[in-house]
A = this chain, B = another copy of it.
């Protein structure tokens, strides 16, 4: 942890948005989660240990021999055309058809969120997010001083009834949301997927209210089985679609993308220039080489099989070790599941005990809400810890939660707990 700052003589100079720009629970947890004695369910990290290091070294060597001067040079802000060609092919596999010019390369999904915030959000603008929503999105949009309205999720994704009511309420007040942001497949943090019926309904209602949709889709290729669910973008080409190489290859490359209608891409391009000129010409060419000439699918399949195995163990262990009044989602893909505990448990308060005594890290639920909800929830990641760690970590966490429950019962004398 960084040392506490006693006196900040520059306080008067900071912009108003810095009030909202605070360290996320996730970032602080990066530090704790890297301690070797901690079993961490806190990160959002793919398992990079299983990637083919020699192949990546070879791909790099090829790039440097073939076009080293360009790979080490500045590039265009929209991104290397060769990499955008790769993305076109990936998108086509998901029935998304777009132009090379309608794709902009970003520094992973996080920069995509920042650029979208930069071009759309004025202070106090209303936007709609899922409740719970991706913490990085909340952070990025908070930086632009957005007024975020959360629409709740259930096991079939975003509640369309709640969305309908929210949009109706806004209309009554003569207000309009700038956009709705959602992760419809294997969502972060909830691990739930918007059902095909709700996808239809969502697009119908957003069309009716003329509401711009931002579909963030980092996880749909990390699927544990079952049929293909169409992306929203494949059903409506007027929306904004975000993808990333972080989960299907490597977050260390810092590469993602946005595809959107041309006028929006142009605005994003100006924002990108002002933000960091261009993404790395070097990593863009390495990823292009890797996705063109190496068996990336087979490594992704191996990784996804690992994640499935770990999810299975996590679900089994939750069943075995968590109290009977706890609930959790059953994700069919992705990296996360979401646990809801009895109301009297505050997961943020429990975290210090969990780290110090149980030696287990997770992300408290309130990090995923802009309005302080989710205090009795937690996000658990199953992609990074190995099988044994998953089983052991859930056991320890379950025991800790049970001991808290027992303590609570002792204090309150209640025999039955209200979990509503």
Q: Which residues of A contact B (CB under 8 A)?
A: 2-3, 5, 8-10, 13-18, 21-24, 27, 30-31, 43-46, 48-49, 51, 53-54, 56-57, 60-61, 64-65, 68-77, 101, 106-108, 110-111, 114, 118-122, 125, 136, 139-140, 142-144, 178-179, 212, 246, 250-254, 261-264, 266-267, 269-271, 273-283
Contact = CB atoms under 8 A, between A and B. Distances in A.
B73 A252 contact: yes
A56 B27 contact: no
Central interface residue in A56, A119, A254, by most chain B CB within 10 Å: A254
Q: How many copies does the complex hold?
A: 2
A16 B118 CA distance: 10
Central interface residue in A16, A57, A75, by most chain B CB within 10 Å: A57
A255 to B, nearest CB: 9
A245 to B, nearest CB: 11
B121 A15 contact: yes
A76 B74 CA distance: 24
A76 B282 CA distance: 21
Nearest to A21: B270
A374 to B, nearest CB: 20
A262 B10 contact: no
Nearest to A179: B13
A351 to B, nearest CB: 19
A319 to B, nearest CB: 30
Contacts of A65: 53, 57
A275 B113 CA distance: 8
A249 to B, nearest CB: 8
7 contacts: A43-B74, A56-B68, A72-B251, A110-B276, A140-B275, A252-B282, A282-B283
Contact of A270 (B22, B121, B212, B283): B22
Contact of A53 (B18, B49, B64, B281): B64
A71 B276 contact: no
A16 B347 CA distance: 39
Contacts of A274: 21, 110, 114, 136, 139-140, 142-143
B71 A252 contact: yes
Contacts of A27: 76-77, 273
A277 B75 contact: no
Contact of A68 (B48, B107, B136): B48
Contacts of A262: 2-3, 5
Central interface residue in A178, A261, A274, by most chain B CB within 10 Å: A274
B276 A10 contact: no
B72 A267 contact: no
Contacts of A280: 252-254, 280, 283
Give me the 4 closest cross-chain CB pairs, A-B, nearest first: A8-B263, A72-B250, A53-B68, A252-B281
Nearest to A264: B10
B53 A73 contact: no
A17 B120 CA distance: 9
A76 B29 CA distance: 10
Given A23-B269, A276-B276, A119 B252 contact: no
B119 A15 contact: yes
Given A53-B65, A250-B282, A271-B143, A277 B18 contact: no
A66 to B, nearest CB: 10
Given A5-B262, A270-B22, A76 B31 contact: yes
A57 B56 CA distance: 11
A179 B270 CA distance: 24
A54 B63 CA distance: 11
A56 B64 CA distance: 8
A148 to B, nearest CB: 14
Given A27-B76, A254-B278, 11 more contacts: A13-B120, A18-B271, A21-B271, A23-B270, A31-B76, A71-B252, A73-B252, A114-B276, A139-B274, A251-B281, A252-B281
A236 to B, nearest CB: 14
A212 B139 CA distance: 27
